[in-house]
Amino acid sequence: MDRIREVFRTRKLGSTAPVEYTPLEGEVGDLDGDVDAAYDPPSMTSSTVLLSPRTNRAFADSQPISLFDYVVFLVLGVAMLWAWNCFLAAAAYFQMRFRNNKAILDTFQSSIMTVSTATTLILTLTLSHMQRSAHYPYRITCALVINMVVFILLALSTILFTDISAGVYLAFTLLMVLGTAVSAGFFQNGLLSYVAGFAPIYSQAMMSGQGVAGVLPAIAQMISVLAIPPKSHESQDDKAATASPKSAFVYFLAATVVSGVALLFFTIHLNRHNDKNHSNHPVADGLAESDALPPKKNLSLWQLLKKLPLTGYTVFFTFALTMVFPVFTQATFSVNSSPSSVFSRPDVFIPFSFLVWNSGDLIGRVVCGFPRIACTNPTILAMASTARLVYIPLYFLCNIKGGGAKVNSDFFYELVQFTFGLTNGYVGSNAIMLAPRLVSEDESQAAGGFMGLCLVAGLAAGSVSSFLLRV
């Protein structure tokens, strides 16, 4: 508990008071000596944790940990994935808009995922070749502004031109998805690279924020649906088309507010660190400008892949496999057909299932911040990522499109959802936080950007593969 209190103790800006360091159990070497000599990659175990000295350098733990900055990166993590989860959790509303066109109704989810991830991948690849001249705070700011514009337009679309055809609205929706994909590209490259220049605990804050971004949109969707119920109730097969446009309006407007709050917090953060003039060299509380990170080292993607093969594979495969869950979730109904049960309605059951998955994901991301639970063995993480393939046959045991379940239990289905999310958050977050610690100090931001590229590439591969699922 003393270490936890120390981590979250806020220091005043400009403080130069040293941080008391207590060696962790099983840790070797002396911070005042040669850190490189103390580092032995083959012997790295799960006892090497977030709050120990960063691999290959003593820089990170010389930084006092700021609670405000932790909150900033948490909020940025929320904003980073809120747009993505907003489109997923709003499945019931989109089903209502596309109900008159069966072809669109059956493929819109995969279409949204493919356009989003493919665009983000292309942009992230482009930005990855612009490391040396990168202005990461500017990229983050652009992402937030784009998201605000997109979700204002989506909110307006729920009350204006509501009689347009399903094909026209699909085109509009995919255009909005394209906008959020551009935003995500700036976010993935900018935020993951920017946070890699700070202590690892801030990376955990960002990853936890992404988990929160999955939980809150699902809650907001459920609340809006229950608060503004549909005018009529239809059979279970048709209930997906009963989501209220008013509830969707509130839901999309909330996404705009989230991006606005994140932009405000990030602006304050930049003012605190004077990053408007020193964007390439993040300065932590209590460190003089001369103590900041050295200039960034420009590495090719091939060089990064050779340095980080297992962590790159883990992030790629983890998030590629995760892309099957939105397809199954929007097509799986409750086995309880009782009309008196609110949660049996697809417009409630679907966002509730997203909530369960994202709750597991959030827990998986949060526990990575606890030293005894975090895993820093790249081999174990890669094996765990591959083992998650078992979830695909488990989903087929559930009540897909109301056709009957092999295991006639909503509890079983939600258990599959929860554990699939839990493993996604834990494995993916550990790998992303580990990567900057496996390279030298001047390569850390490039490693962070590379992890973002692997994540986006995994999402793109998973989205394309989702068309192959017969659900």
Q: pLDDT for 305-330, tens place per residue?
A: 888 899 999 999 999 998 888 888 88
Domain-embedded: residue 248: yes
Q: Is 34 exposed, middle or buried (0-12, 13-18, 19+ CB in 10 A)?
A: exposed
Answer for the pair 199, 459: CB distance below 8 angstroms, yes or no: no
Question: Does position 260 have pLDDT exceeding 60, yes or no?
Answer: yes
Domain count, the chain: 1
**Residue 90, CA distances (Å) to 73, 240, 288, 468 in order:** 26, 11, 47, 23
Domain-embedded: residue 35: no
Per-residue confidence (pLDDT) for residue 386, from 0 to 100:
95
- Is the alpha carbon torsion for 405, 406, 412, 417 positive or negative? negative
**Locate tokens 């605990």: which residue?**
201
Q: Cα 454 to the chain's mean position, in Å?
A: 13
Per-residue confidence (pLDDT) for residue 58, from 0 to 100:
36
**Locate tokens 């175990």: which residue?**
45
Question: Does position 354 have pLDDT exceeding 50, yes or no?
Answer: yes
For residue 227, give the CATH number of its domain.
Answer: 1.20.1250.20
Partners of 332 in beta bridges: 400
pLDDT digits 0-9 by tens, 212-230: 877 877 776 677 667 766 5
Domain-embedded: residue 461: yes
Domain-embedded: residue 3: no
**Residue 327, CA distances (Å) to 22, 275, 336, 350 in order:** 47, 41, 21, 11
Question: Does position 389 have pLDDT exceeding 70, yes or no?
Answer: yes
**Locate tokens 């990855």: which residue?**
128
- Torsion angle defined by CA atoms of residues 37, 43, 45 and 51, in that order, rounded to the nearest 10 degrees: 0
Domain-embedded: residue 85: yes
Q: Cα 73 to the chain's mean position, in Å?
A: 12
Domain-embedded: residue 431: yes
pLDDT digits 0-9 by tens, 37-70: 333 333 333 333 333 333 334 334 445 678 888 8
Domain-embedded: residue 6: no
The mean of the pLDDT values for the chain is 75
21: tokens are: 């360091």
**Locate tokens 């446009």: which residue?**
245
Partners of 400 in beta bridges: 332
Question: Does position 29 have pLDDT exceeding 70, yes or no?
Answer: no
Domain-embedded: residue 303: yes
| Domain, as residue range, for 96 | 60-468
